[in-house]
Structure 1
Amino acid sequence: MFPYKTSLQLNKALKEPLYLQLANQFILLIRNGKLVPGTKLLGSRTLADLLKIHRKTVVACYEELLLQGWVESIPKKGTFVNTKLPLTQKTAITDSFYISEKEYSGFSFYRNDGLLEKKIEKREGVMYINDGVSDTRLAPAEEIARIYRRIASRKSIPTFLDYGTTYGNQKLREVLATYLNETRGLQVSKEHILITRGSQMGIWLSSQLLLNKDDIIVVGETNYASADITFLQRKARIKRVLVDDNGLVVKEIEKLCKKRAIKAVYVTSHHHHPTTVTLSAERRIHLLNLAKKYNFAIIEDDYDYDFNYNHAPILPLASHDTHGNVIYIGSVCKTVAPAFRVGYLIASKDFVNEAAKLRGYVDRQGDALLELAFAEFIKSGDLDSHIRKVMKVYLERRDIFCKLLKENLADYFKFEIPKGGMAVWLRLNKQYAWSLVAEEAVKHGLVIGEWQRYDLANKKHNGIRIGFASYTKDEIVLLIQRLIATCKSIKKAL
């Protein structure tokens, strides 16, 4: 006889009803081949007595199994495991009926090793270097939450809980058009705007529509690694040009245009990722003229336009675009906090329409309530107030970070004080290697991260980005102390 009493375990402390616990365990026993098709189950009274539960619980369990097709009821004979079920391969039953850990799939699939994201489980007492992110402790979470609650309490809210458009919330598109026209010199309407879940979605959508196998896209010798990987995933050919103190060397792009057909140029105009330099006004106009002449797209990723410490920001390429060559991408993720996945793609109407259709394949729509909240957050002036507030904080942190670097680590690193952004481009003395620094840093409670991604072109520049904005003054002092200890240990070992 089947050992029902030891095989079936019920837990009254769980939220799941007892009859469903029982039914799920029966299903698992059937799937594992412990109860084969045709097996007669115990009568409801007998099983109830055996498990010390009410008979109605067993009846409800059997009814559930019957509805799902796992058992069949034969009048005057009893309840049997469905004879039409195919025999299953027997496997050992685990101790828990509620947890199933599947490490490997039972089918083949295509892998994208370049897109692999390493999981970092942060440990207490360890500092993790980032490449320039905002301090989430300064995020205006309470203000946004108040706006969100106010919106959610409106009588009209059911309208926004239904399926919406892939273009994004209309109110946010209208507010963004006004805001960006006023602050960045754009000349767009809501029809030119697609709301995204951050800059990366904008880059992905653009690459899907612009690039096919062997199409050429131009980027800097140093470039945003995630953009490179996105373009390579499309099997495009990446052509790299020099980046100097004034950004992409556009004359090199012009030379390429005379030899090959170019589909697009990707540029982080404010500020170049990873080196933080700003594309000069002269080169911006030159690049726009080339785009018009040779009919290529410019993907302008303006990820941190708002953070400029030495001067007012230079208007984006998109503000001077009169021929529909620029795809302008940005987000509030960097400005406010990464968790608020609100970004935008701005381009000609026909491109935006196509991008909206494509977006529907992977993301039916964004978060309508969050988008409404940000529409009000921007329109009320709260976003500008937040930017002014954190600008002062980040400027102070930049100055402290760079001062301590210069005073304590000048023998190991070269850098220029960034005019904007949230990170410093740090070039390690070439007698040392980042692999050794990263390995030694762990011993001093400091995790460098994936330093290799800053040199995908293998130029051996020995540079990485280190963010300063997300650390307080005391945290910056501690980070520098750990970096000093790391460098001294390496120097001593050499």
Structure 2
Amino acid sequence: MKGWNLTLDLHAPSPTPLFVRIARALEEDIRRGRLPPGAALPGSRTLAESLGVHRNTVLAAYRELETQGWISTSAARATYVSPTLPDVPARSTAGASRTAMPTQVGFSLPSTPLSREQPDPPRGTLVLAGGAPDIRLLPASLLARAYRRALKLHGKHLLHYGDARGLQRLRAALAGMLSSLRGLAVRADDLIVTRGSQGAVDLVARTLVTPGDTVAVEAIGYRPAWHAFQLAGARLAPIPLDGEGLRVEALEALAQRTPVRAVYLTPHHQYPTTVTLSPARRLALLAWARTHRVALIEDDYDHEFHYEGRPILPLASADRDGLVLYVGTLSKVLAPALRLGFLAAPRPFLEHALGVREAVDRQGDTALEAAVAELLEEGEVRRHVRKMHGIYHGRRDALVEAVERELAGALTVSPPAGGMALWAHCAPDVDVGAWVRAGREAGVAFTAGGDYSFDGRPVPAVRLGFACLEESELAEAVRRMARTLPRTARVPKREISGRTGKATRP
């Protein structure tokens, strides 16, 4: 309550003295937890002014409460809720009684809530789950400087309502990056800045999907994106994968049974298996989409981090028919909490999407967009990416070596060509679910393959992120994994004789 006026419900006028009504209102708020033990109460003069009463009335109410043991006064004359509250029955009051926030709702809810990510693990846990960047290496001082400068120079403009597409300056900088690094022939007006890639996927789903439409998704994939399409009313159809990525012939078979509105996929580094969609399948997918007039939603979430050979250009770079809706993010490049993503698409689609954006989210954080635009323009983002590229490459190799050293026979892994995580296959005798639970208790968090399967069936694999931990931390994380491997699956260590071959993924 510090710094804010304390609002009290004194009920309708009654013959009860005003100081008593104030005391009872405060007592009720203490009982229901609005004013917890130890909370500071406003001074008598401040509360009198906010309630529009004489100060002596508030002093009388405070004396009443102090006599009953509800509040206490310190030597500095500050007033607090007593640390130990009196054990007395609740008094009846005029009007409806007030309680704490209700524990039930008075209306119907969906029968099955959407699944959510697990809460953050305890402090000290080494987190291999997902594929997050190491935010400890973010040039935070440069970002803070750019943010301060943006507010100082352009605060009156940036803090007002802005363009639903996002700040033009940032869109222009992003267009330059996408044109140079990803082969997309885009300009500022071909982009919408969103709140992360999830915001872009949600915007696409709300704009594209009508209830009952079929959206094809990867059978092992990114569940939050699936949820966005389901919330828009889509019926999802899982498409199997193999070592070359999405199986296009399965899409063809699906289209023979039902019309397909869109396909959502992660072709560069498939999430979570890290497989890259082969060139032949890329051509086949674009041809199939052109024939059936199906939208392809390409989520290219970590394009910058590719370590072996030249990066594969996005599907959108080869699109000549307006089929691809291209989603990207700066979460992997900078930090997830910045919530900066983008959608590149043909302008007629963007016009529809902008109407949805204005109805749902209105706009983004234009001051932050200005700060990040400055970092892009000055080359700071490019320099940071180059630095992280080398660091993450080394961490990838360190994690592969640690897995081969400590978990040979239990996990089979080959270095992915890019990305920020490994997809490791488990031996048949490994209880993946039990291992994940035991590891979490021992201070290492990683994800079972089944958490990514469309139907929830177990998948004999684990996903191990390497970007957010230093090499020494990765080694310790794998040692904790080895210690918690279910005993029936323990295998002797072996000497490392070389890399394993590229595995075929489900």
TM-score normalized by structure 1? 0.81
What is the match of residue 282 of structure 1?
A: 280
| Secondary structure in structure 1 of the residue aligned to 2:305 | coil
Please tell me whether the aligned partners of residues 449 and 458 of structure 2 are also in contact (alpha carbons under 8 angstroms).
no
In structure 1, what is the Cα distance between the partners aligned to 2:320 and 2:490? 58
What is the match of residue 140 of structure 1?
A: 139
Please tell me whether the aligned partners of residues 151 and 158 of structure 2 are also in contact (alpha carbons under 8 angstroms).
no
Is the alpha carbon distance of 1:112 and 1:206 closer, same or farther for their aligned partners in structure 2, counting shifts above 3 Å?
farther
In structure 2, what is the Cα distance between the partners aligned to 1:453 and 1:350? 37
Please tell me whether the aligned partners of residues 295 and 323 of structure 2 are also in contact (alpha carbons under 8 angstroms).
yes
What is the match of residue 109 of structure 2?
A: 110
What is the match of residue 358 of structure 2?
A: 360
Matches within 5 A, 1:168-179: 168-179=166-177
In structure 1, what is the Cα distance between the partners aligned to 2:425 and 2:52? 69
Report the residue type matching 2:309 in the other structure. Answer: H
Matches within 5 A, 1:359-398: 359-398=357-396
Would you say 1:297 and 2:295 are equivalent positions? yes
1:347 Cα deviation from its structure 2 partner: 0.5
What is the match of residue 232 of structure 1?
A: 230
1:251 Cα deviation from its structure 2 partner: 2.4
1:126 Cα deviation from its structure 2 partner: 2.6
In structure 2, what is the Cα distance between the partners aligned to 1:56 and 1:257? 73
Report the residue type matching 1:232 in the other structure. Answer: Q
In structure 2, what is the Cα distance between the partners aligned to 1:112 and 1:163? 38
Deviation digits for residues 32-74 of structure 1 (CA, Å, limit 9, x no counterpart): xxxx741342579xx9xxxxx9986675354279xxxxxxxxx
In structure 1, what is the Cα distance between the partners aligned to 2:208 and 2:48? 60
What is the match of residue 63 of structure 1?
A: 52
Is the alpha carbon distance of 1:480 and 1:64 closer, same or farther for their aligned partners in structure 2, counting shifts above 3 Å?
farther
Would you say 1:39 and 2:15 are equivalent positions? yes
Please tell me whether the aligned partners of residues 114 and 229 of structure 1 are also in contact (alpha carbons under 8 angstroms).
no
| Secondary structure in structure 1 of the residue aligned to 2:436 | helix
Is the alpha carbon distance of 1:394 and 1:237 closer, same or farther for their aligned partners in structure 2, counting shifts above 3 Å?
same
Deviates more, 1:217-226 or 1:472-481: 217-226
Report the residue type matching 2:471 in the other structure. Answer: K
Please tell me whether the aligned partners of residues 448 and 459 of structure 2 are also in contact (alpha carbons under 8 angstroms).
no
Please tell me whether the aligned partners of residues 454 and 464 of structure 1 are also in contact (alpha carbons under 8 angstroms).
no
1:438 Cα deviation from its structure 2 partner: 2.1
What is the match of residue 97 of structure 2?
A: 90
Deviation digits for residues 315-346 of structure 1 (CA, Å, limit 9, x no counterpart): 11111111111000001011111111111001
> Is there any run of 5+ residues in structure 2 with no aligned partner, and where?
24-41, 55-92, 492-506
What is the match of residue 163 of structure 1?
A: 161
In structure 2, what is the Cα distance between the partners aligned to 1:170 and 1:283? 36
1:466 Cα deviation from its structure 2 partner: 1.3
Pick from 325, 329, 332 the counterpart of residue 330 of structure 2: 332
Deviation digits for residues 391-415 of structure 1 (CA, Å, limit 9, x no counterpart): 1111111101001111221211122
In structure 2, what is the Cα distance between the partners aligned to 1:450 and 1:405? 16
Matches within 5 A, 1:403-418: 403-418=401-416
Please tell me whether the aligned partners of residues 169 and 368 of structure 1 are also in contact (alpha carbons under 8 angstroms).
yes
Please tell me whether the aligned partners of residues 238 and 454 of structure 2 are also in contact (alpha carbons under 8 angstroms).
no
Deviates more, 1:417-426 or 1:448-457: 448-457
In structure 2, what is the Cα distance between the partners aligned to 1:344 and 1:58? 48
Pick from 324, 346, 349 the counterpart of residue 347 of structure 2: 349
| Secondary structure in structure 1 of the residue aligned to 2:425 | strand
Is the alpha carbon distance of 1:111 and 1:257 closer, same or farther for their aligned partners in structure 2, counting shifts above 3 Å?
closer
Please tell me whether the aligned partners of residues 447 and 463 of structure 2 are also in contact (alpha carbons under 8 angstroms).
no
| Secondary structure in structure 2 of the residue aligned to 1:475 | helix
1:382 Cα deviation from its structure 2 partner: 1.4
Is the alpha carbon distance of 1:311 and 1:108 closer, same or farther for their aligned partners in structure 2, counting shifts above 3 Å?
same
What is the match of residue 397 of structure 2?
A: 399
Is the alpha carbon distance of 1:91 and 1:116 closer, same or farther for their aligned partners in structure 2, counting shifts above 3 Å?
same
Deviates more, 1:212-221 or 1:191-200: 212-221
1:189 Cα deviation from its structure 2 partner: 1.9
Report the residue type matching 2:14 in the other structure. Answer: G
Is the alpha carbon distance of 1:378 and 1:54 closer, same or farther for their aligned partners in structure 2, counting shifts above 3 Å?
closer
Deviates more, 1:105-114 or 1:324-333: 105-114
Is the alpha carbon distance of 1:56 and 1:263 closer, same or farther for their aligned partners in structure 2, counting shifts above 3 Å?
closer
Please tell me whether the aligned partners of residues 214 and 236 of structure 1 are also in contact (alpha carbons under 8 angstroms).
yes
What is the match of residue 203 of structure 2?
A: 205
Please tell me whether the aligned partners of residues 436 and 490 of structure 1 are also in contact (alpha carbons under 8 angstroms).
no
What is the match of residue 246 of structure 1?
A: 244
In structure 2, what is the Cα distance between the partners aligned to 1:111 and 1:449? 27
Identical aligned pairs, as a percentage? 32
Deviates more, 1:338-347 or 1:284-293: 284-293
1:458 Cα deviation from its structure 2 partner: 4.2
Is the alpha carbon distance of 1:482 and 1:163 closer, same or farther for their aligned partners in structure 2, counting shifts above 3 Å?
same
1:275 Cα deviation from its structure 2 partner: 0.4
In structure 2, what is the Cα distance between the partners aligned to 1:64 and 1:168? 48
| Secondary structure in structure 2 of the residue aligned to 1:115 | coil
Pick from 483, 489, 492 the counterpart of residue 491 of structure 1: 489
What is the match of residue 464 of structure 1?
A: 462
In structure 2, what is the Cα distance between the partners aligned to 1:55 and 1:274? 60
What is the match of residue 151 of structure 1?
A: 150
In structure 1, what is the Cα distance between the partners aligned to 2:43 and 2:114? 53
Deviation digits for residues 231-272 of structure 1 (CA, Å, limit 9, x no counterpart): 233332222222122211222223333443111111101100
In structure 1, what is the Cα distance between the partners aligned to 2:47 and 2:303? 64
Deviates more, 1:327-336 or 1:229-238: 229-238
| Secondary structure in structure 2 of the residue aligned to 1:334 | coil
Deviation digits for residues 162-210 of structure 1 (CA, Å, limit 9, x no counterpart): 1012111111112212221122111122221111011111111111222
| Secondary structure in structure 2 of the residue aligned to 1:344 | strand
In structure 2, what is the Cα distance between the partners aligned to 1:245 and 1:55? 72
Report the residue type matching 1:39 in the other structure. Answer: P
Please tell me whether the aligned partners of residues 196 and 342 of structure 1 are also in contact (alpha carbons under 8 angstroms).
yes
Provide the aligned C-alpha RMSD in A: 2.8
1:128 Cα deviation from its structure 2 partner: 3.0
1:282 Cα deviation from its structure 2 partner: 2.0
In structure 1, what is the Cα distance between the partners aligned to 2:437 and 2:46? 59
TM-score normalized by structure 2? 0.79
What is the match of residue 10 of structure 1?
A: none
Deviation digits for residues 371-425 of structure 1 (CA, Å, limit 9, x no counterpart): 1111121122211111110111111111010011112212111222111000001
Is the alpha carbon distance of 1:91 and 1:216 closer, same or farther for their aligned partners in structure 2, counting shifts above 3 Å?
closer
Please tell me whether the aligned partners of residues 299 and 327 of structure 2 are also in contact (alpha carbons under 8 angstroms).
yes
